[in-house]
Amino acid sequence: MARTTLTRTVLAAVSAAALFALGACSSDAGTETGGGGETGGADDGVITLGFSQVGAESGWRAANTKSIQDTLTAENGFDLKFSDAQQKQENQIQAIRSYITQGVDVIAFSPVVETGWDAVLQEAKAAGIPVILTDRAVDSDDESLYESFIGSDFVKEGVTAGEWAVEQYDGEGYKAVELQGTTGAAPAIDRKEGFESAIEGSDIEIIDSQTGNFTRAEGKTVMEGFLNKHDDIDLVFAHNDDMGLGAIEAIEAAGMTPGEDIKIITIDAVKDGMQALADGKINYIVECNPLLGPDLADIAKAVIAGEEVEKRIVVKDEAFDQEAAKEALPTREY
């Protein structure tokens, strides 16, 4: 039980955009050299890929960055340009524009929030540079703006967390507080929606909900506020491990025992979270697999080679209770 796998599910097949982008991209094969989009086209065999990362906000993000940097190496045929947007959309837009100006072969990014990308993605498209989304989705009506989206099903993660809460605690009139991820981010929107839909009809009630921006420090501060305001909290649902770990600190500082006096459910299943789960301080974790580097490398190579790529690659996630965490920890990769 509880093994970590990265499997692909083919939801939709052909990306027409891939064909378009390649057409435009192959300008280096002859026509229009001096102009804008001199993308290099990887004719030296090396794929120059510009990656704009969200930030360094969590253990999940650290594992994700490592996976990308460890996979998109020179030995593997890549020249990786990497930038950290410090959780700011304007920084990501700036990084993407700079990759367009540099004429990279492929742009990949994990969008900090869902909306507001159309303009810069149009610019990439006009320059003939294919874009791959990793981890988080964009909310756009124009699917031709990217080749493929590789990442987990966040709604499902929220549902899995909510279903477990119902299984364990329904009938006890539990009062829950929610630590939300970054406002406007796909995983925050989707996990909230999934959890709420799963607890509907049960007697678990969310009495307060606020963003902790996916960080441990903000998770702690928000939990302190919740504890000052409410003396009847039974359950914390945190959108990631780090905020849950911050909540643990706040609960302990208030003289209570996390995992017992106040139950905790989180999402990610990174090392620190899994350790806290094995130690009994967290009650349940839904995994979100951060090892997206290999899939990104495959899709980037396929796009450059002119192959059809899957428009949506869903990363499969597991879930762990305390016993499963103890079993999984010794061989856990991240």
- Please give the C-alpha separations between residue 234 and each of 39, 103, 169, 177, 267, in angstroms, as whole numbers: 55, 53, 10, 8, 18
Tell me, by CB under 6 A, how many residues bind ligand GYE: 13
Minimum distance from CB of 210 to ligand GYE (Å)?
16
* CA 189/CA 157 separation, integer angstroms: 12
Which residue number, 180 or 240, has a Cβ lying nearer to ligand GYE? 240
Q: Which two tokens stand for residue 311?
A: 């428009």
From the list 37, 41, 50, 187, which residue makes contact with ligand GYE (rule: CB under 6 A)? 187
Which residue number, 48 or 266, has a Cβ lying nearer to ligand GYE? 266
Which residue number, 22 or 277, has a Cβ lying nearer to ligand GYE? 277
Minimum distance from CB of 279 to ligand GYE (Å)?
20
From the list 99, 214, 320, 334, which residue makes contact with ligand GYE (rule: CB under 6 A)? 214
From the list 211, 240, 266, 283, which residue makes contact with ligand GYE (rule: CB under 6 A)? 240
Which residue number, 227 or 315, has a Cβ lying nearer to ligand GYE? 315
Which residue number, 174 or 284, has a Cβ lying nearer to ligand GYE? 284
DSSP character string of 169-230: HTTS--EEEEEE-STT-HHHHHHHHHHHHHHTTSS-EEEEEEE-TT-HHHHHHHHHHHHHH-
* CA 56/CA 254 separation, integer angstroms: 28
Residue 274 sits in the site that holds ligand GYE (CB under 6 A): no
* CA 212/CA 226 separation, integer angstroms: 12
- Where does this chain touch ligand GYE (CB under 6 A) — which range of 9-17, 41-49, 57-65, 141-149? 57-65
- Where does this chain touch ligand GYE (CB under 6 A) — which range of 30-38, 55-63, 142-150, 170-178? 55-63
Please give the residues from 110 up to 139 whose contact with ligand GYE meets the rule CB under 6 A.
Answer: 135-136
Which residue number, 158 or 258, has a Cβ lying nearer to ligand GYE? 158
Residue 60 sits in the site that holds ligand GYE (CB under 6 A): yes
What distance separates the 2 farthest-apart alpha carbons in the chain?
A: 71
* CA 334/CA 328 separation, integer angstroms: 11
- Where does this chain touch ligand GYE (CB under 6 A) — which range of 27-35, 56-64, 201-209, 291-299? 56-64
- Where does this chain touch ligand GYE (CB under 6 A) — which range of 52-60, 68-76, 120-128, 204-212? 52-60
| Non-local CB neighbours of 135 within 8 Å, separated by 6+ positions | 54, 64, 110, 150, 151, 152, 290, 292
Minimum distance from CB of 148 to ligand GYE (Å)?
17
Cα within 13 Å of Cα(85), Cβ side: 23
Helices (H), the chain: 16-25, 59-71, 89-102, 118-126, 154-169, 186-199, 216-229, 241-253, 271-278, 293-304, 322-328
List the one residue out of 183, 186, 187 whose CA is nearest residue 209: 183
Which residue number, 21 or 186, has a Cβ lying nearer to ligand GYE? 186
- Where does this chain touch ligand GYE (CB under 6 A) — which range of 33-41, 58-66, 73-81, 138-146? 58-66
From the list 163, 268, 287, 317, which residue makes contact with ligand GYE (rule: CB under 6 A)? 268
Q: Is 143 helix (H, G, I), strand (E, B) or coil?
A: helix
304: left (phi over 0), alpha (psi -120 to 50) or beta: alpha
Residue 109 sits in the site that holds ligand GYE (CB under 6 A): no
- Where does this chain touch ligand GYE (CB under 6 A) — which range of 11-19, 54-62, 96-104, 163-171? 54-62
Helices (H), 30-117: 59-71, 89-102
Residues that bind ligand GYE (CB under 6 A): 57-58, 60-61, 135-136, 187, 214, 240, 242, 267-268, 288
